[in-house]
Amino acid sequence: MATPAASTAAPLAGAAADTHCPYCALQCAMTLTPPLTLDLTPEKAALPTVGPRDFPTNRGGLCQKGWTSASVLGAADRLTTPLIRSAAGELAPATWDEALDLIATRLLALQDEHGQDCVGVFGGGGLTNEKAYTLGKFARVALGTPFIDYNGRFCMSSAAAGANRAFGLDRGLPFPLADLGGAQAILLLGSNPSETMPPFVQHLAGARSRGGLVVVDPRHSPTAALTDDGGGLHLQPLPGTDIVVLLGLLHLVWATGRADTPYLAERVTGAEDVRASVSEWWPERVERVTGVPADDLRRAAEILAAAAPLASGSGAYVLTGRGVEQHAHGTDTVTAAINLALALGLPGRVGSGYGCLTGQGNGQGGREHGQKADQLPGYRSISDPAARAHVAAVWSVDPDTLPGPGVPAMQLLGRLGEPGGIRALLVHGSNLVVSAPGAVQVTERLRALDLLVVCDFVPSETALLADVVLPVTQWAEEEGTMTSLEGRVIRRRKVIDPPPGVRSELDVWAALAGRLGAPARFETDPALVMDELARASAGGIADYGGVSHERLDRGDEIHWPCPDPAHPGTPRALLDRFATPDGRARMLPVEPRGVDDELRSDAPYYAITGRVLQHYQSGAQTRRVRELVAGEPRAFVQLHPRTAATLGIEEGQDVTLTSARGSCTAPARLSREIRPESVFVPFHFPGAERANALTNPATDPVSGMPEFKVTAVSIRAAQGDPRA
């Protein structure tokens, strides 16, 4: 690829500004101070200075990624000019007009030949609220396609589906994160915040000091290690059996008379059906299925019940994360967790509750305003005539011209390049080649497209496959808002100007919409986009009607729903009633189902994927930060010493994992922190170390979530290793 030389200096945008970290949904507060010039040459890069800022979520703390977040602004291979693939197959520099004209011409020709639905859009949970909203509008109005989804489908979808059907509301934490500090007990399922969002861990200190932190994880992760020495209890189930652990805990709550029957009678429906459904999950049976000792299960149930309101405890929380959600039946596992929380009387009460730890920086806001296949702004259903009419009026278009619902991400990707399927794909804020399950097959589908357009600020693995690459702004170069894991809308502020030649996606979509003859206006000023978003979301479940840049800039902290400018926002949702038609929460019976990719003779081990402290998502950003790469330069295969001895594998030896979909090779890292029948691989790395070459694209029938977290694999020494 021919890459243009980076600009040597970008002018200042202004003085130091209060903003937030570009990575996870904790959205740690920081102050960014620009240098006199932003020199983008690798030899003498002068970068903004990052300083932590006191804020309710991070309380002045930052992780390694946050401290080094400014480094990506000076990435040596920063994209600064559009690239078009030549007839010879190389990406070559082009002007913006050449690139935009080519995209519009190709899209119109493909739609003329194959119909409006032949174009797809794939977004990202890192886009600002303004960008997420505009991308949904662009897909439905400028392209006229139903086929839009985003990488949040790989992150929050099971938790969202479970919360929606139980509470009628999907907000990661329907309470401020700081509330956790007063809890007597916290049940944390499938999450490792010690590595994924380290400043979060301080909010676990209260429960830990009381011996009330219960962590469910097949690995003895750094977060599970917080339960050592009296901090609580670690339950280490067989991968894919988390739901059985939850059913066993729920059985014990009822069997020991600890269910909050007055709360259930007043605020919940379906409790008796769930009570009957868990009657067969006594502790010894749970132990046989999961490997969790029956006495540990009893102790965990006692810890939670003693902290619950019925026992006059000081409060308890049930929290879920990707480890229990990224399964082909992840929604049922989330439902089992919610059932447990409801049986204990936790949701909708101050000092107790259920929540989900959102992963991506704007995973919450990104799904509320139009990136999901079936949603319009405000978390409205695209199939609801009233919702269509409301949003169409804001957009000044005929509601009948809006397409209907599309399909979840994996179905969308499965249509790429197929006859009668999607012929062109626009990718924004996602690196599918590394992050999608069954990544080998997804890469093949991307190659089969007639047109692949990628907006990015670095040449990610997906951008390198594209026919057209558009260089866009990144976090400190743009204005906007994000929504944190607790439903708090926060300001992202511009601190420096982008390099010459780089544009915001808002400008890109407006320019393309004009070339495509879109019937609606597309704003490019983020403040005006937020004003439009507020009108479009007003009256919806995720109501941002009272949110504006002006108000946020006055220092207001606004949790949605916030229906009007005089409304203070809603830090604690669901206190008076749940967001269901009758105001009552729903308990639904669920049953355990086996993992989709079960062990077999040619694949006798479970592979688990996850994150490490130094890296984030597909690694496109963090693998360009020298300090982070030094801390974790490669992927690795964590396996138990007993497993290694059985296979004749030594520490540091390259090993190859093979599933039904592909292979991954990385050095062995022996550890007693993982179960002997399992191995762990981080998913941040490309090429031969690509963990998602292994993973299973089978999806949850309710949420569309793929089964990232458990895959049957074989293990062998890598070919060519002299120790094989």
How far is 322 from 358, CA to CA, in rounded Å?
A: 9
Dihedral class, residue 520 (left if φ above 0, else alpha if ψ from -120 to 50, else beta): beta
- Alpha-carbon distance of 52 to 157, in angstroms, equals 31
Tell if the pTM clears 0.75, that is, is over it. yes
Tens of pLDDT, residue by residue over 172-199, are 999 999 999 999 999 999 999 999 999 9
3-state secondary structure of 288: helix
Tokens of 668: 């062995």
Cβ–Cβ < 8 Å for 547, 538: no
Q: What is the pLDDT of residue 46?
A: 75
Torsion of CA 544, 545, 546, 550, to 10 degrees: 80
CATH 2.40.37.10 for domain 605-717: no
CA distances from 379 to 96, 390, 542, 598 (A): 34, 13, 6, 36
Which phi and psi angles does 707 have, rounded to 5°? -90, 70
- The model's pLDDT over 600-639, given as tens digits with 9 standing for 90+, comes to 999 999 999 999 999 999 999 999 999 999 999 999 999 9
> What is the arithmetic mean of pLDDT over 492-512?
96
For domain 83-154+364-477+500-525, say whether CATH 3.40.640.10 is its number.
no
- Residue 370: left (phi > 0), alpha (psi -120 to 50), or beta? left
CB 459 within 8 Å of CB 446: no
* CATH number assigned to the domain with residue range 157-356, chosen from the 4 options 3.40.50.620, 3.10.290.10, 3.10.50.40, 3.40.228.10: 3.40.228.10
Cα 550 from chain centre: 28
In angstroms, rounded to a whole number, what is the distance separating the alpha carbons of residues 70 and 59? 20
| DSSP-derived 3-state class of residue 589 | coil
Pairing of strands 268-269, 585-586: parallel
Task: Please tell me the distance from the alpha carbon of residue 655 to that of residue 723, in angstroms, as a whole number.
Answer: 10
Domains of the chain, residue spans: 17-74, 83-154+364-477+500-525, 157-356, 605-717
| pLDDT the model gives residue 14 | 60
Nearest to 573 by CA among 392, 360, 350, 388: 350
Interior angle at CA 473, CA 467 and CA 478, nearest 5: 155
Q: Is the pLDDT of residue 503 over 80?
A: yes
Predicted pLDDT of residue 310:
96
What 3 state SS string does 334-381 have?
Answer: HHHHHHHHHHCCCCCCCCCEEEECCCCCCHHHHHHCCCCCCEECCCEE
Residue 6 has a pLDDT of 37
Exposure of 627 in the CB half-sphere (CA atoms within 13 A): 11
Q: Is 83 helix (H, G, I), strand (E, B) or coil?
A: strand
524 vs 501: CA distance, rounded Å: 17
Residue whose token pair is 């919450």: 364
Mean pLDDT of all residues belonging to the chain: 94
- Segment among 2-6, 141-145, 267-271, 562-566 with least mean pLDDT: 2-6
Q: Tell me which DSSP letter residue 574 carries.
A: S
What is the average pLDDT across 45-65? 91
pLDDT(8) > 60: no
Which stretches does DSSP call E strand in 82-118?
A: 83-85, 91-93
pLDDT value, residue 142: 98
Side-by-side strand order, sheet with 468-471 = 91-93, 83-85, 468-471, 451-456, 424-428, 119-123, 148-150
For 17-74, CATH number out of 3.40.50.740, 2.20.25.90, 3.40.50.460, 2.60.120.10 equals: 2.20.25.90
Provide the percentage of residues in the chain whose pLDDT is more than 70: 96
Write out the H or E segment, with its range, that includes residue 261.
helix 261-267
Dump pLDDT digits (tens) for 9-47.
344 446 889 999 999 999 999 999 988 554 545 444 578
Count of CB atoms situated within 10 Å of the CB of 444? 12
Confirm if 176 and 460 have CB atoms less than 8 A apart: no
Mind listing the pLDDT tens digit for each residue in 194-216?
Answer: 999 999 999 999 999 999 999 99
* Cα distance between residue 110 and residue 704, in whole Å: 28
Residue pLDDT, tens place only, 449-459: 999 999 999 99
Phi, psi for residue 564 in degrees, rounded to 5: -155, 165
pLDDT digits (tens, 9 = 90+) for 310-362: 999 999 999 999 999 999 999 999 999 999 999 999 999 999 999 999 888 89
Res. 5: pLDDT tops 90: no
Q: Residue type for 452, please?
A: L
CA–centroid distance for 417 within its chain: 26
DSSP-derived 3-state class of residue 365: helix
Three-class SS state of 307: helix
Quick one: CA torsion of 329, 334, 336, 341, rounded to 10 degrees?
A: 180
